[in-house]
Amino acid sequence: MRSQDIQVGCIVKVKENEFFPCDMLLLNSSIPKGICYVETKNLDGETNLKHKQADKRLIRMGKTDEEIARVFNGCTIECEKPNEFLYKFQGNVRFTDGALLPLEPDMILLRGSSLRNTEYVYGVAIFTGHETKIMKNSTRAKAKKSSIEKSTNSYIIVTIFI
């Protein structure tokens, strides 16, 4: 599936060495205890791997594609509005039985980072497209001009007036 076709709430499976197509909540991984390793050099320039971990309750609920789709169908994720803060996140998962699970930043996989040393992970899309944290964090590049270019522009303007 192409990243532009992913909508909020879609359950996504990302394989090793692939980039995350959206900001997503980690549900489970191929490694026991729901741990995965993420490279964030596109976000913060660090090449060291960071580990992310799914909540124990989420891990117990689903291990296969079918189980995850069945268990999380009808769940609601309540979270903050999209913002540019890469390492802050507040939200909750409300299950169909009314149970509430608070979310932590270590459970969130950000678009632009890539999965390493983990065969696969499952996640739920939280923010997509221009709503992702990396897109909110990016700013328009400023035009750089050298001092020679600035003085040359001034000289040209003076010459035109003369």
- The domain segmentation of the chain, as residue ranges, is 3-161
Confidence band for 16, pLDDT divided at 50, 70 and 90: very high
- For 135, how many CA atoms within 13 A lie in the half-sphere containing its CB? 11
Q: Quote the percentage of the chain above a pLDDT of 70.
A: 99
Q: What is the DSSP letter of 82?
A: P
19: pLDDT strictly greater than 90: yes
Cα dihedral angle (59, 65, 71, 73), rounded to 10 degrees?
A: 130
CA 58 – CA 51 distance, rounded (Å): 17
Token pair, residue 79, equals 């979270």
Pick the CATH number of 3-161 from 2.60.120.560, 2.60.40.10, 3.40.50.10420, 2.70.150.10: 2.70.150.10
Confidence band for 70, pLDDT divided at 50, 70 and 90: confident
pTM here? 0.79
Compute the chain's Rg from CA coordinates.
Answer: 21
